[in-house]
Structure 1
Amino acid sequence: MKISFIKVVFAVFVIQLLASCNSTKKEAKVQQKNNTSEAPASRWQDALVSGNGEMGIMVHGNPQDEKIIFNHEFLYEYIGTESVKPPDIGDIMSKAKQLIKAEKYAEAKSDILTHAKTRGYQDILWTDPYHPACVLNLNQKFQGEVSNYERSLNYENGEIMIRWNAGDSQYRRTSFVSRSDNVIATQIISNKEKNVTVSFALAHQFDENQSKADKESGIEKNIKMLFPDRWKQLNTPLIEDPESKITSNWLSFRSKYQLIDRGYEVLVYIKNKGGVLTTKGDEIIIEDADEVEVLAKVMPVEPYSKSVIADARKTIESMPPYNILLKKHAEVHGEMFNRVTLNLDKTGFSDGSNEALITGQKQQDVINTYLLEKVFNMGIYGLISSSGKNPPNLMGIWNGSWRPRWSGDFTLDANVNLQISAANLANQKEAIDSYMTLLERIAPDWEVNAKNLFGCRGYVSGTRTSGRHNFHTHFGNWPGNYWTAGAEWLLLPCFEYYQCTGDKAFLLNRLYPMMKKTALFYEDFLDMYDENDKYLIGPSYSPENNAVLPNGERMGAVANATMDIAVIRELLTNLITINNELNLKEEKVTLWKDMLQKLPPYLINDDGALKEWAHPNLGEYYNHRHISHLYPVWPGLEISPEKETLFKAANVAIEKRGRGNGSAHGLAHTALIATRLKKADLVYGNLLFLMKNDYLYNSLVTSHNPGVIYNTDALHSIPSVIMEMLVFSKPGVIEFLPALSEKLSKGSISGVLCRTQAKVENLEWDMDGKTMTAKVSSGKQQSITFQLRKTIISAKVNGKVISPNGDTFPVDFEAGETKTIELTW
């Protein structure tokens, strides 16, 4: 008897699945390379996600009435604000500085804002909001009740699988977004021939459950401000119906923005093996097929009249079948994902679906390592999947609502910095390239910001961007225009990339010129001094907090934010280091050294805490989600245990810091700082808090606050927290287990890059047995000082016993050499 192709495919699928399940049962330490859900998503936030950096999908997983939301990294609704330049008020900055020096902060702020409004600036402007492209609605018909349902996400190939039984039939629907062929692909099969009946239609994706606060999010005010005669029409996104068309087995969808000759197109190709294809209204219907494949693309177009659908059709028609597309994609995506691996001991814990793990964690006061490992992997997976020509925005690349909170944009005073924090350590050079590409795209606007707002040359970043422009216009009573530290914070991950890889071409051709322009701003801006002949930095702002004035009032626009001091010191120090290492003979090195000497010192308050403002008359507001004044601890490398006084003061500062409004990014940021301060209990406590307090959707994507606002900044920074608690590095130094809790007693991690052109190929620890083994490779000839802040009883390098100097010991490497280090304590 001839066996049908579809039966063979399904049989192989079942055999592989059973083998995978048996393997999981036999080996408790196996890495969690997938997550599973026991029910379809009832809201888009719980949908499973896939992406290739450019396009993303969100799959609900309903067997009958399925929704697959399409996203694209460049789909931002134009609302008329992106090209508005900051007001030209640089000429009044000298007066404002004198008011700040006289501690007349409110007067300085009012004066700047008044002049801005007399020169055309109206009020705070929001970025263009990120939005979904559309939703592909699938209606699949079958006989019988649904049983044995499961939906899952495979981290290694990005494939989302929905499977279920109905009657005596088995069904499977899978989807992924190809990195190699840049297409969204879906396959629908059954274990029986002529058993797939399904219809397809495209429609705008709107979130019926979106709150009024989410919909407005400041945008309504901007539209009223900029278009007073048209605001009611413009306040409804995409008021006109899309241009939809069905041609044979093609669905097309075109949508135009209201205020600009820009829009986007979606093209869907339906391929059926066997069965009959018909059309009815806006649907394509497939009946009694053996198998159905769907290929789709989302394409921004500008101008809107120049459609790209014809070219896209040719590209899609020439593509190979689903299984070949998946294999090609899996080779690329899987290699990226497996560059770093985490294995935690799971003894005493139970695995399960996402829902079961999340629910169970709420009842536990210790972290379920199954869940933590899956979230770590989800963070790496999400970073890869949402890094294209842009890095992840607030939502990664996934969104199911129009006009989301904070526009779903790139928020540059903490959030995007956290989104990208794991990229270097996890060896995701593609993510760093996407991040750098964004910065290069928006950097010309930084020069406009510096000139218009401060009358200076060089770079000043804005606080928010949709990725096209970054004019500094997000201020009003909220004094974001006082923040000058952004450019260096944004550039630091790119310098860190050089520290990890030694990529001189990247440094000299892309990064170094931007660093010099950032320093150029400070060469002009720093012209005010205190009574000790040190710079008095003003205007100065510590995102997004307010200092306490002597009269008890709180004010954000003040002087000497500790963050400002830290980023200036870091920037100038790194520029000097580059010149020393590469012998560039930059004539400004002498100037930069002189500027370093003029920076004011950090201050410590009466509580013993590092002050957020290095000014004697400015007090602390501790209960806040941002921790900008601890920048020299993380992401900076300035404050370490060797600087005992500052290190102790930083510890007091983080201990006194409250959670503010409980934002997830604040919890992750605090945990990252705690890794550098060697506070294992705080690191573990914040991870536990995130795991058990409704910050995880059933998709394992994180929320901004418990159960609300879909944001991936915490998700993408959890891997960096875990890597930093296991391996700390700086040029010439690698420290093992700096902030590892005893509660995570055993495990291993591999593939962590270090900021000294070295890689921890593998690190295995046993806190109960007080042993660890590491294999470390070096990309250059160097001596690395290794450290374990414990009393080392024995140490071996490549099997040879060595004698540590206290808790440190040097090891010499040749370029490309790998050595094994064994320690007991």
Structure 2
Amino acid sequence: MNRNGYTLHRPASRWEDGMLCGNGTVGVIVMGEPERERLILSHEQLFIPMNRHERPIEMGGRLPDIRSLIAEGREDEAAELPVELFRQSHGGAYDLLWTDPFFPAVELTIHTRMPDIAVSGGVGDYARSLNYANGEAVVGFRLEGRSCERRVFVSRQDSVCVVRLNTEDTSADYELSLGLPQITQEGRDFYAEYFGMEPVFITHPQAYTDAAVCICEFGGTGSGYAAVATVASGDGKAVAGDGTLSIHSTGPVRVLLSLIPVEEIHSFSAQEEISRLRALPADYSELLLRHESVHKERYTRIDLRLDSDSYDLRTPEEAEAGTASRGDSDSRSDTGGSDESLWIEARASAEAPPAFLEKMFHAGRYETLSSCGEWPPNLQGVWAGSHNVPWCSDYTQDGNLPTVISGLLPSGDFESLLSYFDYQESMLDHYRENSRALYGCRGIHIPTRSSSTGYDIHFSPEYPMTFWTAGAAWASHFYYDYWLYTGDDTFFRDRALPFMREAALFYEDFLIEDGDGRWLFSPSYSPENTPLGRSNSTALNATMDIAAAKELLHHLITGCRTLGIEDDSLSKWTQMLAKMPDYRINADGALTEWASPLYEDRYDHRHASHLYMLYADIPEEIRRDPILYAACEQAYRLKRELKKNEQGTMSFGLVQTGMAAAHLRDAEMVEAMLQSMALNNYYVTFASSHDYGPTLFNADISGGVPALMLEAIAQASPRTDGHSVICGYEIRLLPAIPKSMRSGQVTGLRLRGGFSLDMTWQSGQVTDYRIHNPLEREYEVQ
């Protein structure tokens, strides 16, 4: 078993089984087919403009009516009101609007033939592999008795997909075809169901010397994208046609392929891009090294190894001298069976061994790193192999997006989290318009779903998603946590604080008092869950809404008091916090999903939104209250026991439950969540799936599972003095280590406070550890 990648001995049978390469901005799926290779490319910012013209409905003026209906117990009518407003603005019809869909932008097909071989030998000795440490996919096989090899990666340094074609001691003919992936009937059905139409692609193929260009325009918009391919060979000359390149060569052939979004199609200069590609180094190895210098440094910042009794953080020289060291993360030899046999045996035995979990960790980190560019990973990272993309493969902000980015900070990949902030800030004007139009409020309102726009347009009577108001507060958590992990005070002042201030400004205008003088969240929505006996999700005081708002205000107060800033706003935020509703415990002794006696919990649901306050840490109010602490445990235990009719759907709900359990030090529940995902939610390539099977490629637990594993290994929480100033950190080692992770080693695990941890443990006991303090700040470590 190779912890830095995998090897399989069969081509992909479906695109979800393909090898995933990416530089964060461009993703390529390498199918690994011997004689007719297919490379399917996508770009993180390419979403088909199907509903881009839509704006949020003007609901703000009707907010008093919505609140009155909810107060009267007429939630169904309250949920219908936004729909009626939509009908009025769209000529009487109602169609559920979706975000613009992600899609496969271009496909490069490579045909390989051996013209000098008289006797056919067929295809044999097939193997394909993906190297996580440098992002390179390799396909090797024998064709007509001769060895063939293809190598592919997407360069972070040079913003290009690089392909190397090579055959052993013989000439080969290659025909490369560049064009749009075909829209199948399944894809047409998808667009018909979600949009009532099929997208229009207008192509403008062009041919240049040694280059093929495919320019695609989204019909009637003037915008689109361009794909440019160039070919170079030591002894062969490419012949270009419309979208094709043919070459006969006796040596390696290098192909460069770029994918570029274009605002104005007719202003795009293909010749300029061709010239840029031709100016890049001719040697494949040099291009790979340029990319690897960036990718590998980030990928290897952390290392995790499980189930060994021989780990030692020290080198032999350091051991002899009696000193400690982090050690070399590449010093362990990779042993064990093949990756495919590991996958098959784990599923057959109904228990994933430590080696399987270790593989999940490294595969997830690779997949997340490879899909963080200028924007964060969407539902499918940065890869789409079909036009039938589930849920438009958008940014689903009420669970999926926060889950996929949750492992970046403890892994030390701080640069990747910047893509999340860049995306959110690029949508700020849209979020402000959402707040104004939907609620008549200042500040920002982040929708449940977004893609190429941040407008809140997706809702239905059953799921009135415009009533979800926790989005900006949840996003604020990552701004605040970035500051805690990095110690970057400038970031807090210049980026985190302005964003968090606007999130709080929304609550200043939105919250109203109940009869007891406490804040009332009305309308309120707990993502996708419906109270027992109700027909839709409209409610009052969803626990998640309360928890997210509380956390935001706590973080604003603590951050600003620690840095000695924003004195004028502190009293306002403190007063707002004091009026927040209390959490509620039901007759089952469980924390309720709605902090109102009007609603009865439905436990058998895929989300665990009411455990939001436990996703990242344990708030002091729960830490100090043993009854509330036990109620949180009871909430997820009942959910696990009674979640029958949705068994196997939405894997990130298992991450949510696991994170809550890790912070409550429930190792048994952490083990149950990890095992469930390991045995049901991973393809043989260790790419992750949304549903059991695996049946639906989805990137969210690729980030969530590493986060959960690291949280089980170590946690750090800031401690404040009586003035809410951070004065130290509590660090907990092995707080919830599950059975399948009972022995192991971690190096480079980052913790809040700017700390870095190297540690080994055996049979659930720490044997050696070092805590580094690169910020050199004086904190008391407990």
TM-score by length of 1: 0.85
Distance 2:350 2:57 in 1: 52
Question: How far apart are residue 670 of structure 1 and its match?
Answer: 2.0
2:320 alignment counterpart: none
Query: C-alpha separation between the residues in 1 aligned to 2:504 and 2:163?
Result: 50
1:218 maps to 2:191:
no
Partner of 1:45: 16
Deviations 1:279-317 (A, max 9, x none): 567532222421100011001111111113222112111
Worse-superposed segment, 54-63 or 664-673 = 664-673
1:803-824 deviation line (CA, Å, top 9, x unaligned): xxxxxxx3xxxxxxxxxxxxxx
Q: Counterparts of 2:420 and 2:45 in 1: how far apart (Å)?
A: 14
Distance in structure 1 (CA, Å) of the matches to 2:536 and 2:177? 53
Matched, 1:33 2:30: no
1:249 paired with 2:244, answer no
- Matching of residue 421 in structure 1 with residue 406 in structure 2: yes
Q: Is the 8 A contact 1:217 1:406 kept in 2?
A: no
Structure 2 residue aligned with 1:783: 779
* Cα displacement string for residues 551-583 of structure 1 (whole angstroms, at most 9, x for unaligned residues): x33431110000111111111111111221111
C-alpha distance in structure 2 between counterparts of 1:617 and 1:373, whole Å: 45
1:268-307 residue pairs with structure 2 within 5 A? 268-279=229-240, 282-307=243-268
Q: Which residue of 2 aligns with 1:108?
A: 78
Aligned to 1:316: 277
Q: CA deviation at 1:275?
A: 3.7
Letter in 1 for 2:779: S
Task: Give the residue type in structure 1 aligned to 2:361.
Answer: F
Query: Is the 1:129–1:403 contact (alpha carbons within 8 Å) kept by the matching residues of 2?
Result: no
* Contact 1:459–1:521 under 8 Å retained in 2: yes
SS of the equivalent of 1:489 reads helix
- Percent identical among aligned pairs is 30
Deviations 1:515-537 (A, max 9, x none): 1111111111112313x221121
1:758 and 2:758 aligned: no
Cα deviation digits, residues 64-109 of structure 1 (max 9, x gap): 1100111111111111x22322111212212322332333322333
SS in 2 for 1:708: coil
Whether 1:774 aligns to 2:758 is no
- Cα distance, 1:115–1:237 mapped onto 2, change above 3 Å: closer
Alignment of 1:113-152 (within 5 A): 113-120=83-90, 122-142=94-114, 143=117, 144-152=121-129
- Amino acid of the structure 1 residue aligned with 2:414: K
Q: Does 1:343 align with 2:297?
A: no
Identify the residue that residue 696 of structure 1 maps to in structure 2: 682
Q: Which residue of 1 aligns with 2:324?
A: none
- Output the CA distance in 2 between the equivalents of 1:123 and 1:236: 16
How many residue pairs were aligned? 732
Aligned-partner residue type, residue 84 of structure 2 = T
CA distance in structure 2 between the partners assigned to 1:120 and 1:169 by the alignment? 63
Report how far residue 214 of structure 1 moved: 4.2
Q: Secondary structure of 1:413's partner?
A: coil
Shift of 1:205: 1.3
- 1:357 CA drift (Å): 2.4
Query: Given the alignment of the two structures, is residue 737 of structure 1 paired with residue 734 of structure 2, yes or no?
Result: yes
Tell whether the 8 Å contact from 2:186 to 2:388 is kept in structure 1 after alignment.
Answer: no
When structure 1 is superposed on structure 2, of 497-506 and 345-354 the one drifting more is 345-354
Residues 100-130 of structure 1: per-residue CA shift (max 9 Å, x gap): 2333322333344434533459443111110
Contact 1:392 1:419 in 2 (8 A): yes
1:525 and 1:606 mapped to 2: Cα distance?
31
Partner of 1:566: 547
What is the Cα deviation at residue 368 of structure 1?
2.5
CA distance 1:215–1:112, change in 2 (3 Å): closer
Matched ranges for 1:448-467 at <5 A: 448-466=433-451
Measured against aligned partners, the alpha-carbon deviations of 1:16-61 in whole angstroms (never above 9, x if no partner) come to xxxxxxxx8xxxxxx7111111111121111101111111111011
Native 8 Å contact 1:217 1:403 kept in 2 = no
AA partner of residue 454 (structure 2): N
1:229-282 Cα offsets, whole Å, 9 max, x none, are: xxxxxx233354x22223221011111112411111000001111245445675
SS in 1 for 2:407: coil
Quote how far apart the aligned CAs of 1:680 are: 1.4
Contact 2:759-2:766 within 8 A present in 1 as well: no
Q: CA deviation at 1:376?
A: 0.9
Q: Distance in 1 between matches of 2:187 and 2:339?
A: 26
C-alpha separation in 2, matches of 1:656 and 1:206: 46
* Aligned match of 2:606: 625
**Aligned CA distance change for structure 1 residues 366 and 707 (closer, same or farther; 3 Å):** closer
Which of 405, 410, 426 aligns to 1:441? It is 426
CA distance, structure 2, for counterparts of residue 82 and residue 772 of structure 1: 56
- DSSP 3-state at the match of 2:107: strand
Q: Matched residues in 2 for 1:89 and 1:595: separation?
A: 25
Rounded Cα–Cα distance in structure 2 between residues aligned with 1:201 and 1:692: 39
CA shift, 1:352, in A, is 3.8
Determine which of 646, 668, 684 is the counterpart of 2:628. Answer: 646
Letter in 2 for 1:612: E
Task: Measure the CA separation in 1 of the matches of 2:373 and 2:241.
Answer: 37
CA displacement, residues 439-463 of structure 1 (integer Å, 9 cap, x when unaligned): 0011211111111111111111111
Change (3 A) 1:641 1:571: closer
Is 1:85 equivalent to 2:49 in the alignment?
no
Residues 99 and 394, structure 2, Cα contact 8 Å, conserved in 1: yes
Q: Verify the 8 A CA contact 2:25 2:43 in the aligned structure 1.
A: yes
Q: Which of these residues, 131, 135, 140, is aligned with residue 154 of structure 1?
A: 131
- Which residue matches 1:718? 705
Supply the distance in 1 between the matched residues of 2:734 and 2:767 (Cα, whole angstroms).
9
Distance in 2 between residues matched to 1:361 and 1:742, nearest whole Å: 15
Aligned to 2:695: 708
Paired residue type of 1:685:
A
Q: Report 1:580-619 matches (<5 A).
A: 580-619=561-600
User: What SS does the aligned partner of 1:218 have?
Assistant: helix
Q: Is the Cα contact below 8 Å between 1:86 and 1:473 reproduced in 2? A: yes
Deviation at 1:473, TM superposition (A): 1.0
1:575 alignment partner, SS class = helix
- Worse overlay, 619-628 or 771-780: 771-780
Residues 276 and 311 (structure 1), Cα distance of their counterparts in 2 relative to 1, 3 Å cut: closer
Q: Deviations over 1:695-750 (max 9, x none)?
A: 22233211211232221111221111111111112111111111112332311111
Find the aligned partners of 2:491 and 2:107 in 1 and give their Cα distance. 39
Deviation at 1:365, TM superposition (A): 3.1
Residue 71 (structure 1) aligned with residue 42 (structure 2): yes
Change (3 A) 1:357 1:528: same
1:266 aligns with 2:252: no
Match of 2:505 in 1: 520
Helix, strand or coil at the partner of 1:709: coil
- 5+ residue gaps in structure 2? 311-333, 719-728
Cα RMSD (Å) of the superposition?
2.1
Mapped contact 1:88–1:119 kept (Cα < 8 A): no
Structure 1 Cα separation of the partners of residues 198 and 338 of structure 2? 39
- Contact between 1:217 and 1:404, CA under 8 Å: does it hold in 2? no
Q: Distance in 2 between matches of 1:485 and 1:128?
A: 23
Matched-pair contact (CA < 8 Å) for 2:236–2:248: yes
**Partner Cα distance (2:610, 2:631) in 1:** 12
Cα distance in 2 for partners of 1:72, 1:748 equals: 36
Note if contact 1:454-1:525 (Cα within 8 Å) is conserved in structure 2: yes
Given the superposition, is the C-alpha separation of residues 346 and 366 from structure 1 closer, same or farther in structure 2, using an over 3 Å criterion? farther
Is the CA contact (8 Å cut-off) linking 2:24 and 2:369 kept in structure 1? yes
